[in-house]
Structure 1
Amino acid sequence: MQITKKFIVVGAGIVALVAGGGVAFAATTSTAAAPKVTAEQAMEIAHKQVAGAWVSEIDYQNGGTRPDVWEVELTKGTERHELDVDAATGKVTKHQTDKDDDHGRDDHDDD
């Protein structure tokens, strides 16, 4: 009976050490800071560039060799605008416009 209690105590100690180590590891690996510019602010900045458009997509791109940016896609009529908004400064670093030639119609046969 004494041996069983020792195994239980040792086993509980190992579980506690592993769980504590996992928490410590997670805390050290998740050091990514939140962007200074929020998604809502990025959308407002994009709307100032393309008044009357609606946001069809927004993505946060971080890491790598380039600065963190919000990639905002807006649609206005038959135009699609893609903007990159710097997540630290709020400055628009890219603005690309594409014209939708088929006016939103899908002419492909989807059988």
Structure 2
Amino acid sequence: MVGFSWTVIDAEAYVPQIYTFSALASVLQEVKLCPSEEKDRKFVADLQATGLGGQSRIGIKKLLSVVETARQEPANLAQRLQRALEAAVHEHRLQAKSNPENEF
């Protein structure tokens, strides 16, 4: 019989919300949303052209979820990600209005 050893890691790491376009672009480049650096730069430029940049705040967990959702439809990736980010930002604003003491 083979013995097993289970290790449970129960840790939390605070990651501040992303609220600048440069931070958003950095995350998108790190997760390699696009297959090449050239396409990645074009994608980030297209996303910046949508104007979503500095007016939004989104948590990293939500952003990564949005990225995975956007990956499921590679065509029109910038537009799909923009729509998903807008929805996430809108949801965050609604939550902040209904419970302002929990906004961070």
Query: Which TM-score band (shorter chain)?
Result: under 0.3
The structure with the larger Rg is 1
With CA pairs under 8 Å and 6+ residues apart, which has the higher RCO, 1 or 2? Answer: 2
The structure in which a higher percent of residues are strand is 1
Q: TM-score, structure 2 length as denominator?
A: 0.26
Structure that is richer in helix per residue: 2
